[in-house]
Structure formats: structure tokens, C-alpha cells
């Protein structure tokens, strides 16, 4: 077969295998070993594994080592015919599955695959497990049959991997909602002792693992965010009342202007920023505060405001509207950009020299009058 004809056939075949083709598949296309060797020497084919080639014209596929190991276990069958339980041949599992799901930071020194019957391999870069997987425990990830996140975590626990690494996988999977914690806990509880957690239920095991990873579960973070939003709302309500009274503005307008900055993270976008800038009450506040310095805010309100602003997204501080509000608050508090609330007693109010002089004059006058009466 001519080389250009062989390349055309291989290109069409490999297109559905991420640019990869096995020697056995090439033979099935009628391409002999001599032609394959010539194409390899001419750099039209790149050898990426024993019996596995990549078309030089194809982009580098993701997870190349995993694809090579998986193709080698059934080199005759094309990848598109290995997407059912009877034709999987092997399923990406354990640490390799976690990598495909982009969960945690498990070191995967070897490609891990699970086969329904016991198999051996001379490839030291591949580790084979034997297990019967239910159809619902396998999904396609990047074109490869892969254990689900739930099954992957239980496999990692059964393999007694480092708890901190497994905790990172759990935290990532829960944060992007790939797993249900109650379902995972139910799966873990019967084997808690075997996993190295005697006397603990599934939820306790999950908490221990996540703690070892020095991570927090998404549910915990979301609860804290809800608490922060409530704190911000309360602080903004107090501030709205102060501004409304000081500048004789409708409380509703002021509260609406300030409450927009405590919108949920998904709402902190250009539209919200524009709405803040366009709000008439906020414009009037900015204009007034540009040349008026009102009295300090109550210390308790200051503390709440500081905690509230600390909870806001840092990116919001870069918006023009947020800068205006921070500057306004700095003027109100007589401090620079809301520092942490001071501990202990509040400092004494600054001395007003003019008032002090007036008071001294009044005192001298009264004392002079008293002396005159006494004389």
C-alpha cells in the first residue's frame, strides 16, 4: 500500500481515538508492518507506547499514558466499540480515575485500570485491579470508561491510600457537586473499620479525611458565606440608617444602594457595578461626602462593617463603585480604609483648639465676675 493511502486510512481511523492507533488496528486496515515502519521513520507516525502510534499531524491527546495503557489491553478493538459494559475490557480507576476527574492531587506514578477478570501485565507503568463494576459505577471521561467519583473514592479507601490525599479528592468532588455526601457516607459506613476508622460512621470518616487534607467541605463554606452575607446585610442596614439621617436621604434608597454590594458571588458582575454607579442615592452620598466630614460611626457598627467587608470578594474592591463606598466609609469613620476594630477602650476624642479656647475664656469670665462680686 502506498504511504499516502496508508496515512489517509490511519488518519480517518485515528480521528475517533484522539489521534492514536495500534499496530493491530493498522494491520486490520490492510497496512503491513513494513509500511508502518517506513511511516514511523519518516516521522508521520510517532511511537508513544509498545504497539501504539500517534499521527504526527494530530494534536497531543490529554492523559496520553492512560490512553496508551487502555488501548494496549484490547489492541484489536477500536475505542468506539469499547463503551459498553461487555466491551470495556478495562476501566480507568483509583488514582488514575481521580486524575481524569481532576480531583485532588494524588500522585499517580502508574496507570491504574480495573478489569472484570484477573489479568497480568509486564508493563511496570501499569497496575491492574480486578473487580466487577456495575454499569452505574462507570462513566465516560474524555472518551475513556472511568469509575464514577463515588466509586473512585471507595476504591481509594479500600486501597488504604493516604487519608489527606483522599480527603482532597472528597473535598473537590463535593465542592463541584460530583458526589452526594450522604450517599458516600452510606457507602463508607459498612467498611469503616476495614478502611482504618473503627467505631466511626461514614460522615465521621469523611470529616476526618477532609480535616487531614486541611480542607473544608463546600457545604461548610456555603454556610459560612450565608452567615457572612447576613452580617454584611446587618452592617449595611446600620450604615444606611446613619447616612439617611445625616444627609436627609430616603432610607429605602440608601439601603437599596448599599445592599447591592452584598449580592451573591454569581451576581457580582458588570451589571451590578453599573447599577451601583447609576443609583441616584449613592451619587448624592458621594457628592456630599466629597466635602463634608460627618461624626465617627459607632464603634460596634465599625466592627460589624470591618467584618462584613472582609467577607466580600477581593475582586469587588477593584470596581469604581466599591472604591467610592470604601472612601465614603473611611470619611465617616475618620480612619483609613476600615482598619480592624480597636480592642480595649476607645481613644479620647481629638481636642478642638477653638472650642477649648472658647471654654477657657468663658471660665475666666465667670471667675472674674465672681471676684468682682466678692470685692
Share of the chain above pLDDT 90, in %: 42
End-to-end CA distance of the chain: 134
Highest mean pLDDT among 5-9, 52-56, 271-275: 52-56
Q: What pLDDT sits at residue 229?
A: 56
* Choice among 43-52, 128-137, 197-206, 245-254 with the minimum mean pLDDT: 245-254
337 vs 20 pLDDT, higher one? 20
> What is the pLDDT confidence band of residue 291, given thresholds at 50, 70 and 90?
very low
CA distances from 243 to 132, 227, 263, 287, 296 (A): 67, 24, 20, 13, 12
Instruction: Name residue 55's beta-bridge partners.
Output: 45
Q: What pLDDT sits at residue 46?
A: 95
Greatest alpha-carbon pair distance for the chain in Å reads 134
Give yes or no for residue 155 having a pLDDT over 90. Answer: yes
Task: List the 52-55 sheet strands across, edge first.
Answer: 20-22, 52-55, 45-49
Mean of the pLDDT values across residues 77-100?
Answer: 92
Q: Please state, in angstroms and rounded to a whole number, the distance separating the CA atoms of residues 334 and 302.
A: 11
Q: What pLDDT sits at residue 363?
A: 52
Q: What pLDDT sits at residue 74?
A: 92
Q: Please state, in angstroms and rounded to a whole number, the distance separating the CA atoms of residues 166 and 163.
A: 5
| Domains by residue range for the chain, with CATH | 3-61 (1.10.10), 91-216 (no CATH), 220-333 (no CATH)
Beta-carbon neighbour count of residue 130 at 10 Å? 10
Question: Which of 28, 22, 29, 20 has the alpha carbon at shortest distance from 63?
Answer: 20
Check: CB of residue 155 under 8 Å from CB of residue 94.
yes
Q: What pLDDT sits at residue 1?
A: 79
Q: What pLDDT sits at residue 292?
A: 39
293 vs 53 pLDDT, higher one? 53
> What is the pLDDT confidence band of residue 175, given thresholds at 50, 70 and 90?
confident
Mean pLDDT of the chain: 74
Give per-residue pLDDT as tens, 11-30. Answer: 999 999 999 999 999 999 99
Q: What pLDDT sits at residue 270?
A: 42
Q: Please state, in angstroms and rounded to a whole number, the distance separating the CA atoms of residues 221 and 225.
A: 6
Give per-residue pLDDT as tens, 230-284. Answer: 555 666 676 677 766 766 667 776 666 665 544 433 343 444 444 444 455 555 5
115 sits in which H/E element: strand 111-115
Give yes or no for residue 159 having a pLDDT over 50. Answer: yes
Q: What pLDDT sits at residue 133?
A: 94
* Choice among 39-53, 100-114, 199-213, 217-231 with the minimum mean pLDDT: 217-231
Give yes or no for residue 65 having a pLDDT over 70. Answer: yes
Give yes or no for residue 219 having a pLDDT over 60. Answer: yes
Q: What pLDDT sits at residue 86?
A: 86
Check: CB of residue 164 under 8 Å from CB of residue 208.
no
Q: Can you say how many angstroms the Cα of residue 144 is from the centroid of all Cα atoms in its chain?
A: 25
Give yes or no for residue 345 having a pLDDT over 50. Answer: no
Q: What pLDDT sits at residue 101?
A: 95
* Choice among 20-34, 117-131, 288-302 with the minimum mean pLDDT: 288-302
Amino acid at each position: 500500500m502506498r504511504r499516502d493511502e496508508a496515512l489517509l486510512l490511519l488518519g480517518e481511523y485515528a480521528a475517533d481515538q484522539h489521534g492514536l492507533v495500534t499496530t493491530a488496528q493498522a494491520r486490520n486496515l490492510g497496512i503491513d508492518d513494513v509500511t508502518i515502519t517506513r511511516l514511523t521513520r519518516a516521522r508521520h507516525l510517532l511511537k508513544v507506547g509498545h504497539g501504539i502510534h500517534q499521527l504526527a499531524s494530530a494534536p497531543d491527546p490529554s492523559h496520553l499514558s492512560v490512553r496508551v495503557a487502555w488501548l494496549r489491553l484490547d489492541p484489536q478493538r477500536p475505542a468506539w466499540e469499547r463503551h459498553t459494559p461487555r466491551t470495556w475490557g478495562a476501566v480507568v480507576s483509583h488514582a488514575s480515575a481521580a486524575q481524569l476527574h481532576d480531583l485532588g492531587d494524588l500522585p499517580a506514578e502508574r496507570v491504574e485500570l480495573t478489569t472484570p477478570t484477573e489479568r497480568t501485565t509486564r508493563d511496570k507503568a501499569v497496575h491492574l485491579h480486578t473487580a466487577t463494576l456495575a454499569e452505574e459505577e462507570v462513566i465516560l471521561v474524555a472518551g475513556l470508561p472511568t469509575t464514577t467519583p463515588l466509586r473512585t473514592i471507595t476504591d481509594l479507601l479500600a486501597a488504604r491510600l493516604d487519608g489527606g490525599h483522599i480527603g482532597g479528592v472528597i473535598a473537590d468532588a463535593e465542592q463541584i457537586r460530583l458526589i452526594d455526601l450522604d450517599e458516600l457516607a452510606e457507602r463508607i459506613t459498612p467498611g469503616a473499620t476495614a478502611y482504618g476508622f473503627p467505631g466511626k460512621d461514614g460522615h465521621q470518616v469523611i470529616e476526618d479525611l477532609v480535616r487531614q487534607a486541611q480542607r473544608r467541605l463546600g457545604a461548610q463554606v456555603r454556610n459560612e458565606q450565608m452567615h457572612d452575607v447576613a452580617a454584611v446585610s446587618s452592617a449595611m442596614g446600620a450604615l444606611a440608617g446613619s447616612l439617611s439621617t445625616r444627609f436627609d436621604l430616603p432610607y429605602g434608597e440608601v439601603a437599596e444602594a448599599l445592599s447591592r454590594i452584598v449580592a451573591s458571588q454569581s451576581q457580582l458582575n458588570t451589571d451590578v457595578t453599573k447599577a451601583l454607579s447609576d443609583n441616584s442615592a449613592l451619587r448624592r452620598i458621594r457628592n456630599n461626602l466629597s466635602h463634608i466630614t460627618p461624626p465617627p460611626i459607632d464603634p460596634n457598627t465599625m466592627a460589624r462593617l470591618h467584618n462584613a467587608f472582609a467577607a466580600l470578594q477581593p475582586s469587588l474592591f477593584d470596581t469604581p463603585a466599591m472604591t467610592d463606598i470604601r472612601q465614603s466609609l473611611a470619611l465617616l469613620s475618620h480612619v483609613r480604609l476600615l482598619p480592624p476594630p480597636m480592642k480595649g477602650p476607645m481613644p479620647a476624642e481629638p481636642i478642638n483648639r477653638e472650642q477649648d479656647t472658647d471654654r477657657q475664656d468663658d471660665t475666666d469670665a465667670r471667675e472674674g465676675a465672681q471676684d468682682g462680686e466678692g470685692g
